[in-house]
Structure 1
């Protein structure tokens, strides 16, 4: 299989509310819009809010969004009325994480990778 692109598809109960949350509250840039949906840039991938869902969020799925500065991101979100479900903490695997939820309750894990974490090590060698 040769994957050329990828997206996460969300089918929210209230498409307008959820689109506004990702566009206006989180500030994600719009990649494209079409009748019935909006695709957002999501780092190395895309998030597509499309159609209307019935079930809402599932605890088995979360969005993992790496940010440059977790405290600054949380302060910005608080100014927009978003309180974290779980505040920032260092996880056993060494990442700093905080959790928020979208209007349907989908968990969004905001992650900052500390400067000394192995994910930041240059693996190209000397």
Structure 2
């Protein structure tokens, strides 16, 4: 399998409410819009809010790496979003906090601290 691109597809209970959350509350930039859906930039990938997942919405989780976790959490709190847990240093060494979108999709916000193995260039020579 040769993967050229990828995105996470979310099928929310209310497309307009979830689109507004990702656009206005999280502040993700719109990549493109089409009838019934919106695709957002999310770092090196995309998040697409499309269609409807019924009353409860679909089940998924997002992992979003941020530059400054404390500043991100403070910004979300100003917009009325309280973290469900964190921010804190997890046993695996990442600084994390999590929030949920209007359908209960868990969004893990991650800052990779200095010295963490994810910051090491593993390419040879």
Q: With the length of structure 2 as denominator, give the TM-score of the two structures.
A: 0.93
Whole-Å Cα distance in 1 between the matches of residues 102 and 83 of structure 2?
13
* Equivalent position of 2:57 in the other structure: 56
* Structure 2 unaligned blocks of 5 or more: none
SS in 2 for 1:72: helix
Deviation at 1:44, TM superposition (A): 1.2
Offset of 1:82 from its aligned partner?
0.6
2:103 — aligned with what?
104
**Distance across 1 between alignment mates of 2:107 and 2:123:** 31
**CA RMSD, Structure 1 to Structure 2 (Å):** 1.3
Q: TM-score, with normalisation over the residues of structure 1?
A: 0.93
Deviation at 1:125, TM superposition (A): 5.4
**1:123 CA drift (Å):** 2.4
Moved over 4 A (4+): none
- What's the CA shift for 1:122? 2.5
Aligned pairs for 1:87-126 (under 5 A) are 87-124=86-123
Unaligned stretches of 5+ residues in structure 1:
none
Distance 1:43 1:124 in 2: 21
Does the CA-based 8 Å contact 2:11-2:58 persist in structure 1? Answer: no
Partner secondary structure for residue 109 of structure 1: strand
